Amino acid sequence: MRIGELSQRTDTPVRLLRYYEEQELIHSDRLPNGYRDYEDYVVDRVLQVRGLLDVGLPTRIIKQILPCLNSSRAIHLPYVTPEMIATLEHERDRMAEKIECLTKNHRAINGYLEAVSHEIRTS
């Protein structure tokens, strides 16, 4: 698929897709006319990258953990440092806090909707 279709399917601006490719987070082949051509699996990869960016991971770390997204056994981190491990542990803990907060908010909204729906049905 071309970059415009990838952009539409992932709701990601073309400019960002080019940046992801520049950062080696995604890969494309080049058609004879020079256009980028992406495999279908890149849709999921872009969504994974965006999710990791949304929780605050920098692209340099995302690039290193991308192999883990497909298979936990395929990881190869040639430049693991204590600082990187500490950063990943910190980010993991931040994600856990966000998940907990989102779960609480989800329950609260769900409870509100149930109460409102019950009120509407009984009136």
First to last CA, the chain: 52
Q: What is the mean pLDDT of residues 68-97?
A: 75
Kindly state whether residues 70 and 86 are assigned to the same domain: no
Dist. CA 85–CA 83, nearest whole Å? 5
Kindly state whether residues 10 and 70 are assigned to the same domain: yes
Kindly state whether residues 90 and 71 are assigned to the same domain: no
Structural domain span for residue 46: 1-75
Identify the band that residue 78 occupies on the pLDDT scale cut at 50, 70 and 90.
low
In terms of pLDDT, which residue wins out, 32 or 73?
32
Extract the tokens encoding 108. Answer: 């609260």
CATH code, domain carrying 32: 1.10.1660.10
Helix (H) or strand (E) holding 116: helix 82-122
Identify the band that residue 50 occupies on the pLDDT scale cut at 50, 70 and 90.
very high
Kindly state whether residues 2 and 57 are assigned to the same domain: yes
Instruction: Tell me the whole-structure pTM to 2 decimals.
Output: 0.67
Q: What is the mean pLDDT of residues 6-32?
A: 96
pLDDT of the residue at 37: 96
Number of domains in the chain: 2
Kindly state whether residues 69 and 84 are assigned to the same domain: no
Whether residue 79 is predicted with pLDDT greater than 70 in this model: the reply is no
In terms of pLDDT, which residue wins out, 117 or 5?
5
